[in-house]
Chains A and B, each alone.
Chain A
Amino acid sequence: MTGRVLPFRGRPLSSEAGIRAAERVLSTPIDERVSKAKALHLEDPETLLALCGLIRERMSASPASAKLEAEFLYRFIESPRREIGLFDERDYFLGETALLTGMACRCLSEREEAWIWFDRAEAGFRHTMNAPAEMSRLSYQRLAERLEERQFDLVLELLPSLVESFQKLGMPEDALKCRFLEGLAMFERDDPSAAIRVFNAIRDEADAMGSQTLLADAYVNLVHAHGMLGEAEAAIEASRRAIPILRELDNRISLAKVHWGLATLLREEGRIAEAVDSYRSAQEDFDAIGMRADIAALNLVVADLLLEEGKSVEALREISEALPVIAELKMAPEGMAALSLVRESVRRQEVNRQALRELHGYFQELQN
């Protein structure tokens, strides 16, 4: 028989003091934090809990800094080994900070790293008291990553089991969130009408449960899907609903995606110059939050548009800008094949449009 008691050392901070301590930590340069750990109450679970909350809130406004902060916390707790709080709290914070880092990597399209962080999150969550709930949250992130890697069949196969887990655990908001993956898989399989039905259902349910985050994301996806079908009125209405909520939530990732969706609509309407301007605007948004993969993906979309206009020199310039970023990312075989063809066509100064479309299809940013 084995057993351990983790005694509580000293008086814990109150939750309000934890929030203040967390804000002090974030305003302290990272390289000064370890030496000031005691004064910053960095080992206090209240501080860590507040830090995780702040990082989660900032994820959609600045994934690059969220990654930096969450990774710092993981490494601080992990080595040298620090005993944090009571019972399972060390394991929980290792799991949560790894999950946050993985989520940020996913936003930044750093796929190999995301998988490593999800494995680390599992190693932490496995030892927590409420492991089924934490592991289910992790499973959602893993499925979202698989969706971005275009493994649609696998996502659709595994999704019902995850929805069932969330329902059994009494987590309806998380269960609803899973439906985005279903809608996005349909969208990516060139069935925007089916996707619209799913996103409308999510919108209604999110509205009924009062979840502003899910409601806004439903509208963002509706902008894209209606835009793809050239349904201007519906796309514009969805964007009109999404933007105020996204501004209030400071969700800059989704705001950029709204611009992207509107650009798609303009393109479908044949308003090419305006579409290019709108894609540029989305690129600026992505640039401000460090989402390089999305900028590169939009370079490819713009290149395709320019080719449509017979501007092959400008198109080649767009592709050349995107290639170094794309090459830096680890991609699945079909992405690599398309990349090779595009590279070859750049070398020959004659673009293989089918390969270009496959490549930017591969890179099509997936919401949520």
Chain B
Amino acid sequence: MTRLSSGEVLTGILGAATLGVLALLPLADQGYYLSLAINMVLFAALCTAWTLFSGPTHYVSLATAAFYGLGTYTVGLGLDYLPFPVLVVMGGVVAAILAGLVGAATLRISGVYFVIFTFGLAELVRQIVSYTQVKLSSRMGLYVFTDFTERDIYWMLLGLTAVVFITGWLINRSRLGFAMQIIGNDETVAKHSGIDTAKLKIILFMISGAFIGIAGAIIAPRYSYVEPPGAFSPMISFLVVIMALLGGTRKLWGPLVGVIPFTIVMDIVSVRFPNDTSIVMGLAFLVIVYLLPDGITGRLEQFWAYLKKPRAAPEAAPVEERA
């Protein structure tokens, strides 16, 4: 295991401190702002998990809703029989299995075909779950009654986000992460270098899917009632993609930078313009696309590079002098 650089240690400490502060939020507010924070943390977990796969490989996955819904339904169906923590893990496992199947099936597909395939997948899973529900139990929705408060759910999601981050960081440092970088840059080169691109893509997709499933499982108790249109809503898939792209998918913390402003802006817009939410959101999107092509982190990187530029010139002079 390579030693941690001082930069990484600093980031780690900063991250832990931020986590600590965020964990205190429920003590400050139990109402509206906690609700908002839960939405933010949920999407932070989802978007970061999504970026684990779609960032390095540049494959845009719209299967988020499928994994999320499976996680929610695992809890919904099993709550009367198994304890909650077991169900959460099960949710992750079920989602990972689906991800594995999908990964194995879609090796030869890339680009936009993968996008549509994964979207079709979410709808397919939804229809199958609906149909099975109809035939087996003649009920559609499931009631999920637990004693969890909003606070508990917030902390669980916060914990999940932290785990996703740490996992992402570990992957980046490992051979898996290195291999993914090569695949992302040029898949042909990767294959010729002897990297088993297929296997690695599947593993990464499964890890990403598992986390998304766990997020879905954790959030299930919040609404007391789950039904397929809500649990498998394609909106979830789209929002995750939008926020991750907004933040920038080249860095692990990129999606975070997208989630926070997006959730806040969506919220402000919903409150100020309840009858015109769609119009304002549409305009906001267009603004984002034109002004932030690489996401916010892209702009930040540009800014950072610009700051670094002037210092390069003086360094060249001493070398010349010596020569």
A binds B: no
B-side residues, CB < 8 A to A, are none
A-side residues, CB < 8 A to B, are none
